[in-house]
């Protein structure tokens, strides 16, 4: 009798071990290195992300690096010396667009950094190559553009809607183009590890204001992942309060526009599945009083108990 149930027992324990292993590693760790949309140069858009339990991160945008790592060490989100963390734990940079508040930290800290990839749509990498990593603006630490090329960084072009592995990490990325003050462009990055996903949007305007369909087509692409319970969180910007006139949005969102876009996404999804997604609010512009107003408006307009997260510099988040 025992002989007969032994194989079944072994099979059962292998199966439960596998389930347990999956269960321990089903999300992402995010360390915000910078969360604001302007002014404070020590706290500009940049988020380290790695699968839960891993120390192999990439940076989603790179407005602030060093000051953010130092804050994260103080808050016990990271252990070590900031330069070493940048050198060893950040395996690459994903840059959403060419504005300084999304890449200044990468440029300024480049002399102390190690060799790695910079990922982006070709049009974004061209801005780095032609405007920043030039010998007039700084030094050319990259592998293309003005000579001499120091070749520390390798530009890695992402073709829209195509999946690529992120070198030296366990993650993959797929890029989508966004409209950021038409005709200017920005990027959304869909990051995956196994079957778990996170979506990061760089700066973006609403389709109706931008006269664009970029968000509509992004929502159509990712809705099936929400319905499957695989997309855990979406980073989306809210730069200005509702009072900001349409003509002065410069390709950004207000709380009202944030919700009008999200209701379009919700319309494509199962409402139970939609409510499980966390929305990480990014890029709110100073002064502090305006930023507080944005938060207040987001909370008061929140009609259908959405999970809103207001990230803080240095404070790690676990998304699963
Ligand atoms: Zn921008
Ligand atoms: Zn920005």
- CATH classification of the domain holding 199: 3.60.15.10
* Residue 5, C-beta contacts closer than 8 angstroms, at least 6 positions apart: none
For residue 16, tell me if it sits in a domain.
no
For residue 15, tell me if it sits in a domain.
no
Measured in Å, residue 187 CA sits from the centre of ligand 2 at: 12
Burial of 129: CB neighbours in 10 Å, binned 0-12, 13-18, 19+? buried
Measured in Å, residue 4 CA sits from the centre of ligand 2 at: 64
Q: Please state, in angstroms and rounded to a whole number, the distance separating the CA atoms of residues 175 and 214.
A: 12
pLDDT in tens, 237-249: 999 999 999 999 9
Measured in Å, residue 252 CA sits from the centre of ligand 2 at: 9
Measured in Å, residue 103 CA sits from the centre of ligand 2 at: 10
For residue 18, tell me if it sits in a domain.
no
Q: Which ligand is nearest to the CA of 250?
A: 1
Cβ–Cβ under 8 Å, residues 178 and 99: no
Measured in Å, residue 241 CA sits from the centre of ligand 2 at: 16
For the chain, report the end-to-end CA distance as a whole number of angstroms: 42
Measured in Å, residue 165 CA sits from the centre of ligand 2 at: 26
Cβ–Cβ under 8 Å, residues 180 and 187: no
Measured in Å, residue 97 CA sits from the centre of ligand 1 at: 7
Q: List the domain range (segments joined by +) for residue 278.
A: 26-319
Give the count of domains, the chain. Answer: 1
Confidence check: pLDDT of 156 > 60: yes
pLDDT in tens, 17-54: 444 444 455 899 999 999 999 889 999 999 999 999 99
Measured in Å, residue 3 CA sits from the centre of ligand 2 at: 65
For residue 184, tell me if it sits in a domain.
yes
For residue 1, tell me if it sits in a domain.
no
Measured in Å, residue 240 CA sits from the centre of ligand 2 at: 12
C-alpha distances (whole Å) from 287 to each of 62, 267, 290, 294 are 21, 34, 5, 11
Core vs surface per residue 140-157: b (16+ CB within 10 A) or e: bbbbbbeeebeebbebbe
For residue 87, tell me if it sits in a domain.
yes
C-alpha distances (whole Å) from 320 to each of 63, 148, 226 are 26, 45, 13
Kindly report the pTM of this predicted structure: 0.92
Best CA proximity match to 144, nearest among 154, 158, 136: 154
Least confident of 65-74, 124-133, 150-159, 286-295: 286-295
Measured in Å, residue 186 CA sits from the centre of ligand 2 at: 10
User: What is the pLDDT at residue 17?
Assistant: 46
Measured in Å, residue 278 CA sits from the centre of ligand 1 at: 23
SS3 304: coil
Outline where DSSP puts E strands in 121-276: 153-157, 163-165, 172-179, 185-193, 196-201, 231-237
Mean pLDDT of all residues in the chain?
93
Q: Which ligand is nearest to the CA of 239?
A: 2
Measured in Å, residue 316 CA sits from the centre of ligand 1 at: 24
pLDDT in tens, 106-155: 999 999 999 999 999 999 999 999 999 999 999 999 999 999 999 999 99
For residue 5, tell me if it sits in a domain.
no
- Length of the chain as a residue count: 320
Confidence check: pLDDT of 315 > 50: yes
Measured in Å, residue 99 CA sits from the centre of ligand 2 at: 6
Measured in Å, residue 313 CA sits from the centre of ligand 2 at: 16
Core vs surface per residue 70-80: b (16+ CB within 10 A) or e: bbbbeeebbee
Confidence check: pLDDT of 1 > 70: no
Average pLDDT over residues 52-77: 98
Confidence check: pLDDT of 303 > 80: no
């Amino acid at each position: 009798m025992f002989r007969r149930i032994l194989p079944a027992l072994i099979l059962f324990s292998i199966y439960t071990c596998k389930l347990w292993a999956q269960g321990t590693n089903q999300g992402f760790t995010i360390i915000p290195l910078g969360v604001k949309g302007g002014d404070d140069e020590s706290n500009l858009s940049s988020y380290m992300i790695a699968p839960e339990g891993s120390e192999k991160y990439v940076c989603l945008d790179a407005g602030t690096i060093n000051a953010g790592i130092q804050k994260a060490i103080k808050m016990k989100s990271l252990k070590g010396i900031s330069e070493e963390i940048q050198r060893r734990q950040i395996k690459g940079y994903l840059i959403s667009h060419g504005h300084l508040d999304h890449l200044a930290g990468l440029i300024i800290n480049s002399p102390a950094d190690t060799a790695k990839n910079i990922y982006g749509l070709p049009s974004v990498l061209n801005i780095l190559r032609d405007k920043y990593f030039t010998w007039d603006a700084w030094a050319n630490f990259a592998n293309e553009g003005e000579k001499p090329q120091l070749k520390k960084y390798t530009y890695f072009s992402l073709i829209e809607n195509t999946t690529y592995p992120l070198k030296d990490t366990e993650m993959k990325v797929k890029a989508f183009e966004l409209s950021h003050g038409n005709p200017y462009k920005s990027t959304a990055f869909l990051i995956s590890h196994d079957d778990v996903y996170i979506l990061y949007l760089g700066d973006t305007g609403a389709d109706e204001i931008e006269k664009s369909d970029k968000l509509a087509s992004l929502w159509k692409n990712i809705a099936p992942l929400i319905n499957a319970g695989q997309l855990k969180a979406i980073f989306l910007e809210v730069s200005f309060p509702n009072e900001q006139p349409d003509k002065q949005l410069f390709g950004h969102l207000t709380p009202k526009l944030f919700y009008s876009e999200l209701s379009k996404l919700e319309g494509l999804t199962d409402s139970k599945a939609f409510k499980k997604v966390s929305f990480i609010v990014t890029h709110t512009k100073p002064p502090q009083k305006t930023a507080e107003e944005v938060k207040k408006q987001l909370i008061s307009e929140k009609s259908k108990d959405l999970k809103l997260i207001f990230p803080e510099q240095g404070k790690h988040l676990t998304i699963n």
